[in-house]
Amino acid sequence: MLSESGQARTFGTTLVGIGIIVLVMGIVYHVQFMLGLRHERKAMMAAGIVHGESKFPPSFTLITAIILLLMGLLTISSLLFHFGPFE
């Protein structure tokens, strides 16, 4: 029974680790995309295509991804170092 519990813990840790990697990749891509949009907007303003300056609203997708990343980091550290709610 103990070996089955260890296997489940290893599988869960692996899944959380994969989730963290995917979230980091998604956050990096999202930030690069938003910076590209801002650069494009500045170029369009300089060309006179877009008038006025409006700021981009906060990205709720990015905020959610960062919260999920923090939860994943807390979970994986709890699983690896045996502390917290997943001890």
**Structural domain contains residue 18:** no
pLDDT recorded at residue 86: 63
* Residue appearing with tokens 């650069």: 39
- Which structural domain, as residue segments, surrounds residue 67? 25-79
Query: Taking 80 as the threshold, does the pLDDT of residue 2 lie above it?
Result: no
Q: Which bin fits 54, alpha (ψ -120 to 50), beta or left (φ > 0)?
A: beta
Give the separation between CA 78 and CA 20, rounded to whole angstroms. 14
**Structural domain contains residue 87:** no
**Structural domain contains residue 44:** yes
**Structural domain contains residue 1:** no
**Structural domain contains residue 17:** no
**Structural domain contains residue 5:** no
pLDDT recorded at residue 84: 72
Report the domain count for the chain.
1
**Structural domain contains residue 73:** yes
Give CA separation, 4 vs 7, 9, 48, 87, in Å: 5, 9, 65, 16
- What's the pLDDT tens digit per position in 9-57? 889 899 999 999 999 999 999 999 999 988 988 888 888 888 767 777 7
Confidence band of 1 (pLDDT split at 50, 70, 90): very low
Amino acid, res. 87: E
The pTM assigned to this predicted structure is 0.78
